[in-house]
Structure 1
């Protein structure tokens, strides 16, 4: 089987490499294609591996006076693989004359640098399989980008829809808060483990069916693509001889923190003035409200228990001293 002796010129340093390989390009790959000046290099095609080994050894011995120190090769970025096979370009002309003068002693066909460069170019060209994989990769990336853009557009539509819906609800809430301020019905805010509540009261018992908070929770409902909610999410009220007390559920965004969602941020922005005013109200103890409004009741019946009477008395006293008008 035919084999080769290669004589490859370094692209950046004044040296060349003499070695033996059945496939010159495959061997050159081990010490970096990009470091070889292929157009100025050459290969020698011999009849057999034995002939190639013989010529390689003869050339190594003949030009040993021009060999480059392997340590120098490695220190200058060359590969340690075959580092002892490099020779100074000072002997390059003599090497070419030697091969020409001794063609009869070492029969070979010359593979020119141009041929080697052309072979390398063809080898570096991507195969149809590689091209197909790259095309598939590009198509997948294009679909991913398309999905991401669609997601971003949908999210933008969601938030824009949320803001538009909230701006319809905001005047209703602001108007109702203003009415309650003028009537002197606002006591304060109660923060509980279940959420925050606006606490209202009137010193006169309201007639059956009447409410302190007159805006129905559904009137404060907002919708947007893929979601919805209510600014005032719940309402509870009791009427007793001392008067009427109610609590109105505030939205989660009222307790804005680091875990707030983008939706919460928009709610906070639209209701900034209302929430800012609510946060200035006095704090009503949770233990009062939990006794007056036991869990699970929307309209709790009055109770004659001492704890219930005590809590109602505290809330009504808080109403008389609130001064929120």
Structure 2
């Protein structure tokens, strides 16, 4: 198998490297192609690795007085790999003459710098596989950008639909809240682990089928592409001889403590005035509302339930306090 002795010029310094390699460019890659002046370099192709090793050693010994200190090579930016194989260019003419004069002792073929440059350019050119991979990468990136643009456009459609739907619901909620204010039924806000509630009360027991809160949850329902919800999500009411008490479920973002999405932000924007007003109302302790509306209870609590009676009295007192504001 043929092999080579290479003579590679440093691009920035007056020195060249003598080494042995079956493939010159593969060896040159280890000390950076960009540091080599391939136009001024050459290769010596020999018939066997043994001949290449022999010629390399002869050239190293013959021109040893022109060798450069490896520490100097490394200090000037050269690679430590093969740092002892660099020689000053002052001896290059005699080295080339040696090769010419001893062709019979070292049968060889010169690989010119131009051939090395052409070989390097071919290696640097992307293969068909490289081109295909790059094209596939570009196509994937284009699809990703397209999908991202579609998602952004769809999200914009969602938010526009949400805003439009909320503007239909808003007047209904605002009108009902104004009615509750005029009737003096608003007690305050109760914050619980399950959410916040608007608490309403009336000292007059309402007849069966009548409700303090005039809107059903469906009346405050809003929709948008692939989404929806209700501003007033739930409604519960209890009636006793002492009067009627109701709680109405509020959106989780009405207190603006945990805005986490664009959807929340738009709901807050449309109902900003109402939500800011909720923040000004008095706070009703959770234990009062829990006593009046026990979890899982479908019937009114018994009339002799002391805790429930006490909670009713507290809420009615809070209603009187609220009406005095």
Fold shared, TM-score > 0.5 on shorter chain? yes
Residue equivalent to 1:173: 173
For residues 181 and 167 of structure 2, the distance between their equivalents in structure 1, rounded to whole angstroms, comes to 22
Instruction: Indicate conservation of the 8 Å contact 2:5/2:19, yes or no.
Output: yes
Instruction: Indicate conservation of the 8 Å contact 1:44/1:110, yes or no.
Output: yes
Residue equivalent to 1:50: 50
Instruction: Indicate conservation of the 8 Å contact 2:6/2:24, yes or no.
Output: yes
Residue equivalent to 2:11: 11
Q: Secondary structure at the match of 1:37?
A: strand
Any unmatched runs of 5+ in structure 2? none
List structure 1 runs of 4+ shifted beyond 4 angstroms. none
CA distances 1:71-92 after superposition (whole Å, capped 9, x unpaired)? 1112222222211110011222
Label 1:137 to 1:232 Cα distance change in 2 as closer, same or farther (>3 A).
same
Residue equivalent to 1:257: 257
CA distances 1:170-198 after superposition (whole Å, capped 9, x unpaired)? 11111111111111111101111111111
Residue equivalent to 2:96: 96
For residues 234 and 53 of structure 1, the distance between their equivalents in structure 2, rounded to whole angstroms, comes to 90
Instruction: Indicate the larger mover: 255-264 or 156-165.
Output: 255-264
Superposed counterparts of 1:274-313, under 5 Å: 274-297=274-297, 300=300, 303-313=303-313
Any unmatched runs of 5+ in structure 1? none
Instruction: Indicate conservation of the 8 Å contact 1:237/1:300, yes or no.
Output: no
For residues 49 and 193 of structure 1, the distance between their equivalents in structure 2, rounded to whole angstroms, comes to 83
Superposed counterparts of 1:79-118, under 5 Å: 79-118=79-118
Measured after TM superposition, the shift of residue 299 of structure 1 is 6.8
Measured after TM superposition, the shift of residue 258 of structure 1 is 4.1
Q: CA RMSD in A?
A: 1.9
Measured after TM superposition, the shift of residue 312 of structure 1 is 1.4
Q: Secondary structure at the match of 2:254?
A: helix
Instruction: Indicate the larger mover: 138-147 or 107-116.
Output: 138-147
Instruction: Indicate conservation of the 8 Å contact 2:161/2:223, yes or no.
Output: yes
Instruction: Indicate conservation of the 8 Å contact 2:255/2:275, yes or no.
Output: no
Residue equivalent to 2:238: 238
Instruction: Indicate conservation of the 8 Å contact 2:292/2:301, yes or no.
Output: no
Superposed counterparts of 1:310-321, under 5 Å: 310-321=310-321
Instruction: Indicate conservation of the 8 Å contact 1:184/1:324, yes or no.
Output: no
For residues 257 and 313 of structure 1, the distance between their equivalents in structure 2, rounded to whole angstroms, comes to 31
Q: Secondary structure at the match of 2:39?
A: helix
For residues 52 and 308 of structure 2, the distance between their equivalents in structure 1, rounded to whole angstroms, comes to 107
Q: Secondary structure at the match of 2:253?
A: helix
Instruction: Indicate conservation of the 8 Å contact 1:235/1:298, yes or no.
Output: no
Instruction: Indicate conservation of the 8 Å contact 1:40/1:113, yes or no.
Output: yes
Instruction: Indicate conservation of the 8 Å contact 1:238/1:302, yes or no.
Output: no
For residues 208 and 49 of structure 1, the distance between their equivalents in structure 2, rounded to whole angstroms, comes to 107
Label 1:74 to 1:324 Cα distance change in 2 as closer, same or farther (>3 A).
farther
CA distances 1:193-223 after superposition (whole Å, capped 9, x unpaired)? 1111111111222233222111221111011
Which TM-score applies when normalising by structure 1? 0.93
CA distances 1:143-162 after superposition (whole Å, capped 9, x unpaired)? 22222222222222222221
Residue equivalent to 1:200: 200
The total of aligned residue pairs comes to 325
CA distances 1:100-154 after superposition (whole Å, capped 9, x unpaired)? 3333443321111000110111122222222222222222222222222222222
Instruction: Indicate conservation of the 8 Å contact 1:236/1:297, yes or no.
Output: no
Residue equivalent to 1:122: 122
Tell whether 2:64 aligns with 1:64: yes
For residues 169 and 279 of structure 1, the distance between their equivalents in structure 2, rounded to whole angstroms, comes to 21
CA distances 1:276-319 after superposition (whole Å, capped 9, x unpaired)? 11111111111211121222346736633222222211111111
Instruction: Indicate conservation of the 8 Å contact 2:200/2:212, yes or no.
Output: yes
Q: Secondary structure at the match of 1:131?
A: helix
Which TM-score applies when normalising by structure 2? 0.93
For residues 93 and 159 of structure 2, the distance between their equivalents in structure 1, rounded to whole angstroms, comes to 77
